[in-house]
């Protein structure tokens, strides 16, 4: 006797479960994009007193701009593989730029620690020595004549 096999069909519930499993697996697969994250510190590792703007450029084009939080932390998300320039231009600090190569297959998140140097302002010295006033100022010399009177030189 020959036995025939009937084809089996997946129930709608089984099909739905398989589809959800496939979508979840593809969502958790390795991303093709990376990120640059970090923290800015100033003066002996302290947090900046104000929020600081960072600019991200690649090939001369501004890709993104972000502001630090209250602790100087920042992040640039969803970056395709490329060479990026992280730039800090703030009137209170010296210019800062760092090149970062994003390759999510080898390093999904690039971590930066940026130490900013406060700008030094040109001080005008108003001390008596610098202005020519006061005890160390140059005095006009006077010569004494044989008769004992003085006259300017």
- Max Cα-Cα span within the chain: 156
pLDDT in tens, 68-98: 999 999 999 999 999 999 999 999 999 999 9
pLDDT value at residue 133: 53
H/E segment holding residue 126: none
Give pTM, 2 decimals: 0.59
Place of tokens 């100087």: 72
Closest CA to 119 of 98, 91, 96, 87: 91
Confidence of residue 144 (pLDDT cuts 50, 70, 90): very low
pLDDT in tens, 9-65: 555 554 444 444 544 444 444 568 999 999 999 988 899 999 999 999 999 999 999
**The domain 30-116: what is its CATH number?**
2.60.40.10
pLDDT in tens, 98-133: 999 999 999 999 999 999 999 987 665 555 555 555
Say how many C-beta atoms besides its own lie within 10 A of residue 37's C-beta. 13
pLDDT value at residue 1: 59
Burial 8-25 (b: 16+ CB within 10 A, else e): eeeeeeeeeeeeeeeeee
Residues in the chain, total = 153
pLDDT value at residue 45: 85
């Amino acid at each position: 006797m020959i036995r025939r096999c009937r084809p089996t069909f997946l129930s709608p519930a089984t099909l739905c479960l398989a589809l959800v499993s496939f979508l979840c697996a593809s969502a958790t697969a390795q991303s093709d994009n990376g990120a640059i994250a970090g923290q800015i510190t100033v003066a002996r590792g302290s947090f900046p007193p104000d929020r600081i703007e960072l600019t991200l450029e690649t090939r001369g084009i501004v890709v993104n701009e972000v502001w630090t939080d209250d602790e100087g932390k920042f992040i640039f998300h969803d970056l395709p593989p490329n060479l990026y320039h992280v730039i800090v231009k703030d009137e209170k600090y010296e210019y800062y730029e760092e090149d970062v190569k994003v390759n999510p297959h080898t390093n999904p998140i690039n971590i930066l620690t940026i130490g900013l140097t406060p700008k030094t302002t040109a001080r005008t010295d108003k001390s008596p020595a610098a202005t020519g006033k006061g005890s160390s100022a140059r005095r006009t010399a006077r010569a004494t004549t044989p008769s004992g009177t003085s006259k300017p030189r």
